[in-house]
Amino acid sequence: MPGYGDYLQLPALLALQRPQAGPGARDELLFVVVHQAFELWFKQLLFDLEDARDLMLTGDGHVPRRRLERAVAVQRMLLGQFDVLDTMAPQDFRLFRGVLGTGNGGQSAQFHEIALLSGAQQDGGFDRPWYSAAERSRLRRRAAEPTLWDGYLAVLAKAGFPVAAEEERFAAYARIAAERDGLWELAEALVAHDQAWAAWQGRHLLTVQRQIGRRRGTGGTTGAAHLAARQQARFYPELWELRARL
């Protein structure tokens, strides 16, 4: 029987944190650990969100709601990691910022996979040099496959609602909102996921502003201004518009 460390492959996992700036940059390990943790949780989010999408495409609305609720719990938990990053003074960040080169969190393939799977509009920039061949392949697949929104519309269609036209969908939403049944709860779970994702991006923006202010980002972006410009996008605009029509 494998032990705890063997089962979790801890020797390999704990060998993956490799600060490069030297012993004087003591906060670099913190930076690496937090961002690697983000990527591990992104992996879990993709696992659960993909399952929710696949089940909704079959017409199942119950289990996907549970998957989305867990995804939201993970997203809210990830907000706390920014509190840990905020214990790093900007002077200490500058001690190792140079070793990042042109790297930045916006180059995370998994981050963009989550957005694509959730229903974000894709910009087609999958051939950018920082992506590996495997990442490019995954991003193209995500852009071509059904989204969580497609899954929700499949659930509505199986329940007997026409969904081809916008006015038909809003008529369905109004009825679902009035009845407050499982279809409403599933819609609310999608909105909660959307809101939690927006909250994560907003918290990321604050941390970037705290660390670099108006400086340019490491990837050649405008830094905080680049992140702020993406704050208004939503995965499920019709479910947000519904609030104004209730």
The radius of gyration of the chain's CA atoms, rounded to the nearest angstrom, is 20
104 pLDDT band, cuts 50/70/90, is: confident
- pLDDT at res. 229: 55
Which residue's structure tokens are 């042109």? Answer: 102
- pLDDT computed for residue 103 by the predictor: 84
Per residue in 151-178, pLDDT tens? 999 999 999 999 999 999 999 999 999 9
* pLDDT tens, position by position, 6-62: 999 999 999 999 999 999 999 999 999 999 999 999 999 999 999 999 999 999 999
pTM: 0.91
User: What is the mean pLDDT of the segment spanning 82-103?
Assistant: 93
Q: What H or E segment, with its residue span, contains residue 202? A: helix 182-212
| pLDDT, position 27 | 97
Residues 6+ positions from 67 with CB-CB distance below 8 Å: 48, 49, 51, 52, 55
Segment 61-71, tens digit of pLDDT: 999 999 999 99
**CA angle (61, 74, 239) in 5-degree steps:** 45
Contact 52, 64 (CB under 8 A): yes
Residue-wise pLDDT for 187-226, tens only, equals 999 999 999 999 999 999 999 999 988 755 555 554 455 5
Helices (H), 86-131: 90-94, 109-118
What is the structure's pLDDT at 139?
A: 95
pLDDT at 228 over 60: no
As a whole number of angstroms, the distance between CA 226 and CA 218 comes to 12
- Whole-number pLDDT of residue 232: 65
**pLDDT for 129-142, tens place per residue?**
999 999 999 999 99
What pLDDT does residue 37 have? 98
The CA-atom distances, in angstroms, between 100 and each of 19, 28, 103, 146, 163 are 10, 10, 5, 34, 47
The class (CATH top level) of 26-97+105-245 is mainly alpha
Confidence (pLDDT) at 218: 54
Helix (H, G, I), strand (E, B) or coil at 28: helix
Please give the pLDDT value at position 213: 80
The 3-state DSSP class for residue 225 equals helix
Mean pLDDT of 180-190: 97
Spans of all domains in the chain: 26-97+105-245
